[in-house]
Structure 1
Amino acid sequence: MIVAGREGGADGVRIVLETEEAMLLSELADQVDSVLLLGGDDDPALGRLLPNAYPDDATNARDFARYTRESLVDGKRQAAQSVRDATATERGSGIVEIELDQAQAWDWLTFLTDLRLILAERVGVVDEDADEADEQRDDYLRAAYEWAGIVQGSMLEVLDPMQG
């Protein structure tokens, strides 16, 4: 994976992925979408994506969710769809080059944040500085969590070099 500024100095990001990485991102976007569509209120990953704005006030929490949840879910689903669209590739084509303008790049960052929240919940990451021995083990999900963090960090460095 290579993340760089777009050609000609335009705002945005150029991402170069191996075909397998593009397919993985597309599959992970499907998973995020599934959590958003099918996750019940008892799914802790959905709770991380859509936290309770008023944990001590059930009435206000219900009202807040009623007025905001649909648009939040729609935005998150659109971000996942943006990733699926950009990573659609034929098997065996080798390299996938993706040019994202700034708005598309921020959609990707939204998706990567959502993905990392879901994966963190699934592997038991509560605090990134916590001892890994205290976390549930699932090496595949943990690797996906860490890889998504690398992609996210690389994109942020390109989009906002002052933060890097």
Structure 2
Amino acid sequence: MLETEEAMLLSELADQVDSVLLLGGDDDPALGRLFPAAYAEDASATDDFARYTRDSLVDGKRQAAQAVRDATATERDAGVVEIELDQSQAWGWLTFLTDLRLILAERVGVTDPDEAGPDDDQRDDYLRAAYEWAGIVQGSMLEVLDPIGH
């Protein structure tokens, strides 16, 4: 269950993840986080790997973002959006949340989540808050999916 504002935020963030996937250039460091070099010591092998896998990986990430948009577009009842996900859908959401957090972490310069300190830039504050909130949602979902592991 999400507050209406949370559902709207997730939908907006899914749009932004989709935009990064579609419009981000090879020089976008956020894409470097989403698609790290497969072979750190071999640029040619990394290029070959990317050539054969990148489109499929992008498609999967875009589908995960679309699933979040679809689920959060449901009717809102009294300020609450009730979302029911089966296990497969929940793992798709976790994929999206991971991608979102990697992009946001890159945008605000988080390299170690435990050392994410305050920033004076108001835009970064918003992005950092979104990053932390997405982590809370992600953690909650993981607890539901694997209650024994937590």
Per the TM superposition, whether the score is higher than 0.5 is yes
Q: Distance in 2 between matches of 1:90 and 1:96?
A: 7
Please show how residues 60-71 of structure 1 align to structure 2 within 5 Å.
60-71=45-56
Task: Report the count of equivalent residues.
Answer: 148
- Residue by residue, what CA displacement relative to the aligned partner does 1:119-143 show, whole Å, maximum 9, x if unpaired? 000010001122515x674111011
Report which of the two has the higher share of strand.
1
Aligned match of 1:122: 107
- Residue by residue, what CA displacement relative to the aligned partner does 1:13-70 show, whole Å, maximum 9, x if unpaired? xxx1111110000000000000000000100001100111112212101100011101
TM-score, normalised with respect to structure 2: 0.93
Contiguous gaps of at least 5 residues in structure 1: 1-15
Q: Distance in 2 between matches of 1:94 and 1:108?
A: 22
Please state whether the residue corresponding to 2:31 is helix, strand or coil. Answer: helix
Aligned-pair CA distance for 1:92: 8.2
Aligned match of 1:145: 131
Check the 8 A contact 2:110/2:116 in 1, yes or no. Answer: no
Question: Aligned in 2, Cα 1:136/1:129: closer, same or farther, shift over 3 Å?
Answer: farther
TM-score, normalised with respect to structure 1: 0.85
Aligned match of 1:11: none
Check the 8 A contact 2:8/2:72 in 1, yes or no. Answer: yes
Check the 8 A contact 2:61/2:96 in 1, yes or no. Answer: yes
Aligned-residue Cα RMSD (Å) equals 1.6
1:40 aligns with 2:28: no
Aligned match of 1:10: none
